[in-house]
Amino acid sequence: MDHTAQEQVVPASAAVVPVGAPAGGLSPAEIDALAAAGDYAAISKPHLSPILGRYYERNWSHGEGHTLYDSAGRGFLDFACGIATTSLGHHHPAVTAAIKDQADKLLHICNALGYLEPVGRLAAMLADACPDPLDTVFFGNSGSEAVEAALKLARRVTGRPGIIAFRGAFHGRTFGAASITSSSINYRLGYEPLLPSVYLTPFPNVYRYFGDDEESATAGAMGALQTLLAHEIPASSVAAIIIEPIQGEGGFSPAPAGFLRELRALCDTHGILLIADEIQSGMGRTGKMWAFEHADIVPDVICVAKALANGLPIGAIVTRRELQERWGVGAHGTTFGGNPVSCAAGVAVMRTIEEQGLVANAAARGDQLQKGLRALMAQDDRIGDVRGRGLMVGVELVKDRATRDPDTATSEALIGACADQGLLVLNCGTHHNVIRFLPPIDATAEEIATGLELFAAGLNAVPRTKA
């Protein structure tokens, strides 16, 4: 097997045992020779931290459009998009031009020193892309930083300590974000004490926990939340509830629209801020600009990152102005956050999405993808569920459709088999048994059809684990 899931669970002992010293250094001449041979793994392994799990043991060279090339020159149809980040594909002409242009002008000043055109312009475009009254943007460098900013704002502005998050969520790796993350125990193991006054409650996972219909999932999860508020933390002490409208790393589970509406109402009743983590699901991916729009709600805070600059580091929160005024000057800050090169790329991304109607394209191509995957599900009982919205689609693999026992082994083998066929897809879920499709949002109908063919071939290449 040539890949390792990002969320790979390690035994408790591994978290505290020091990692051994690298086998030995390479001379500059040896590095040159390995680079010429395209063996970037051999260059990387002696000195790069082994902490990062890798999906593939492959060497990547460059990207063009929707194809990622390895160092031997083989092209792969990229339906992973750097985990929902290069949503416009690779070497996008408008994004690349914007980056080059800004790099020629100015790389950095730190936004605390004054004002820069691409930063202000991107803030205006983001505000315009968000529903009223969300009109004020704070930029950071990553998804985790956006989440940290949202949590700090919520506590400072409400004067309350409590944060409620959903079981199975992934919000990032920094301490605050890790404290509200539970998609894998490996993200929490050995890091306690985490942030205090954090409470986890069940996510309305229609397929896994609450039966097959959205109404019972909504009732079950709302009931659990009400119980939490009745027994563990009063609503009057809760600063914020944070939710991914579609759980990402946790298994590509959309929250039912009815649940999001009830959550909004509960937050309104008790003066709780509703934070939507749109880091994976935002920027048009789900066939709406923001996934919460499928439920016709407006959160108080939106967290954005990943696809915002098509691969350059950036993160942002968007709120109504009054909240950030009450947050207070100097209450938060950053050196690199909202750097002009990332912001210039972000401006090009926002323009391209708008000008090419890519939100509608994601909806149409997503329907095509889900239809094709459902047809495969009708022929292959290893697929227990196909779900998602737009071009954020999950395929859950099970050992048995009746018991829904997660089939981790098939999923792990399948992402390798798909890569062998020339298709990059990733997996997710607490048991790593959900294949996630994250094609570029400007994918064509032909590319989706090719992706489906390659996926079917990958599935056929994986031996069945039962009779």
Residues that bind ligand PLP in the complex, under the rule CB under 6 A: 83, 142-144, 147, 170-172, 244, 248-249, 277, 279-280, 305
- Residue in the shown chain whose Cβ atom is closest to ligand PLP: 143
Closest distance to ligand PLP from the beta carbon of 94 (Å) = 23
Nearest residue (CB) to ligand PLP, 315 versus 372: 315
User: 3-class DSSP state for residue 254?
Assistant: strand
Closest distance to ligand PLP from the beta carbon of 200 (Å) = 15
Cite the beta strand spans of 122-254 per DSSP E: 136-140, 162-166, 198-201, 238-243, 246-247, 253-254
Give the CA angle between residues 48, 49, 52 to the nearest 5°. Answer: 110
Nearest residue (CB) to ligand PLP, 178 versus 267: 178
Nearest residue (CB) to ligand PLP, 188 versus 404: 188
Closest distance to ligand PLP from the beta carbon of 172 (Å) = 4
Question: Can you tell me the distance from the alpha carbon of 107 to that of 333, in angstroms, rounded to the nearest whole number?
Answer: 19
Nearest residue (CB) to ligand PLP, 235 versus 302: 302
Closest distance to ligand PLP from the beta carbon of 177 (Å) = 7
Which stretches of 356-436 are DSSP H helices?
Answer: 358-379, 408-421
Nearest residue (CB) to ligand PLP, 83 versus 154: 83
Distances (CA, A) of 60 to 29, 35, 74: 21, 11, 10
Residue 391 CB-density burial (10 A; 0-12 exposed, 13-18 middle, 19+ buried): buried
Task: Residue 129: name the closest of 349, 366, 362 by CA.
Answer: 349
Closest distance to ligand PLP from the beta carbon of 277 (Å) = 5
Nearest residue (CB) to ligand PLP, 84 versus 233: 84
Which stretches of 271-339 are DSSP H helices?
Answer: 321-327
Nearest residue (CB) to ligand PLP, 277 versus 293: 277
Closest distance to ligand PLP from the beta carbon of 368 (Å) = 24
Closest distance to ligand PLP from the beta carbon of 371 (Å) = 26
Q: Which residues contact 267 (CB under 8 A, 6 or more apart)?
A: 241, 273, 274, 300
